[in-house]
Structure 1
């Protein structure tokens, strides 16, 4: 592995400074569209519903413009405009509005996702909720949220038993019928199941409010920022087999290794 790819050689201070510029720019672009009665959306899918709005596209363009000035050597992977190559070994992974369904519905559960990753996975992650004014940031072993209460350090919960756990996912069906069945098998063991929070569920996990987020059908730009944030707060994020999750697909985020293993055992047993 070259120095450029090794986290020890990365200037996290400059990454954080740049990420905050990106988030500020995205906030400025997005907020005029939120809860605007004239907002139009397009469906990306021939079957099903995956909306995109001008707010998504404009926010990603604004962030890409800053990166082209501030860090032109880095690669970019964005939901709306795809991949741009780089030479540094670092990739900025951008989802300008994670939770566009919530965005067009007026719920403040969507967020701007900004991550920086090496080939091994994310090393910095931000979940920014412009309307509430909360910004969750995680890197290395430090995670913080800034918002109405100032800046607060984040730490995941120590829940050890599924019977005490709170679990989230975005869609009730989760993914395929098989994946949905596996998720519901975990739900049979927990105290409370909630739906529809998009990236904000991962922020709540990092903040110590909930214990598990289980999802399927994810893209890399959906999960890179949550991985960095949750793990910096003391949690763990893997795929449903316990391996790396940054390629997307199935992901389980947990507050600690004990609750992660218990939920993983149920998923595996259900999938066979």
Structure 2
């Protein structure tokens, strides 16, 4: 495990602990709307603050970009990218599928990514060139660690491929895929289901770099492929495709961007 992955894990797990504290009292948590209409709460801001505190102690010279507190620091060529609660709309409804996402970008490449699903006591992580892994949270530590791989046994085309769509309440960009692939309900963030071999495809119909940085690395290190709808393989704003192979990713992109 690389140093960047260790730092990302420490930061994400600290954030997960803070998030669970708020989740236990979510019914009483005030909710606000951002300018883009998305939900935000004091929990989002508190979790990001905790993660930033860990990073400030571990890597004080690195820049940080977070969904709630913006960009801080510059100059080293290294940047930590935080989504403190990915899926706040799920969080405030008491749904257990929300995540804490932390990634490290070094000289433009994502080198570490961690995705924690605190309410399910599960986590995923990857380091550039070192593979993707999943485990369970037990008594504050990681148990049942195993390396994960995308599936390689299904048909190569879109027809018959299994698909998860995020979010499932605003998915117009993914409708061409839904017409061909077999859309499935999901109990876990669909890109993670691709990484562990449970889905062939995942489409995320909107987002920013913090929505994609960690999961794009986890999927690619599991042997899969990632790209934005514009074909760029670097995480960034817009919609994104995750697939178990580059060929399936490219077929999906042709369907949604003819």
Deviation string, structure 1 residues 92-149 (Cα, Å, up to 9, x no partner) = 0000000000001111111000000134331211111112111100122400001177
Quick one: distance in 2 between partners of 1:155 and 1:18?
Answer: 23
Instruction: Count matched residues.
Output: 249
Q: Does 1:232 align with 2:221?
A: yes
Question: Superposed, which structure 2 residues align to 1:210-229 within 5 Å?
Answer: 210-229=199-218
Match of 1:76 in 2: 64
Matched-pair contact (CA < 8 Å) for 1:115–1:224 = yes
Quick one: distance in 1 between partners of 2:166 and 2:24?
Answer: 21
Quick one: distance in 1 between partners of 2:160 and 2:76?
Answer: 44
SS in 2 for 1:260: helix
CA offset at residue 239 of structure 1? 1.5
CA offset at residue 212 of structure 1? 1.1
Deviation string, structure 1 residues 200-224 (Cα, Å, up to 9, x no partner) = 2211111111111112331111111
Matched-pair contact (CA < 8 Å) for 1:121–1:224 = no
- The TM-score with structure 2 as length reference comes to 0.89
Quick one: distance in 1 between partners of 2:15 and 2:234?
Answer: 26
Q: Does 1:42 align with 2:38?
A: no
Match of 1:186 in 2: 177
Match of 1:27 in 2: 16
CA offset at residue 186 of structure 1? 1.4
Quick one: distance in 2 between partners of 1:32 and 1:202?
Answer: 26
Q: Which has the higher mean CA deviation after the structures are superposed, 239-248 or 75-84? A: 239-248
Q: Which runs of 5+ in 2 are unaligned?
A: 138-142
Question: Superposed, which structure 2 residues align to 1:111-130 within 5 Å?
Answer: 111-130=99-118
Quick one: distance in 2 between partners of 1:250 and 1:93?
Answer: 18
Q: Does 1:151 align with 2:145?
A: yes
CA offset at residue 172 of structure 1? 3.9
SS in 1 for 2:257: helix
Matched-pair contact (CA < 8 Å) for 1:113–1:125 = yes
Aligned counterpart in structure 1 of residue 235 of structure 2, from 246, 249, 271: 246
Matched-pair contact (CA < 8 Å) for 2:79–2:104 = yes
Quick one: distance in 1 between partners of 2:148 and 2:169?
Answer: 30
Q: Does 1:171 align with 2:139?
A: no
Matched-pair contact (CA < 8 Å) for 2:112–2:126 = yes
Q: Does 1:16 align with 2:10?
A: no
Quick one: distance in 2 between partners of 1:138 and 1:224?
Answer: 11
Quick one: distance in 1 between partners of 2:22 and 2:200?
Answer: 32
Q: Which has the higher mean CA deviation after the structures are superposed, 128-137 or 260-269? A: 260-269
Deviation string, structure 1 residues 196-255 (Cα, Å, up to 9, x no partner) = 96xx22111111111111123311111111111111101111122322341221211111
RMSD, aligned α-carbons = 2.0
Question: Superposed, which structure 2 residues align to 1:85-124 within 5 Å?
Answer: 85-124=73-112
Match of 1:202 in 2: 191
Match of 1:255 in 2: 244
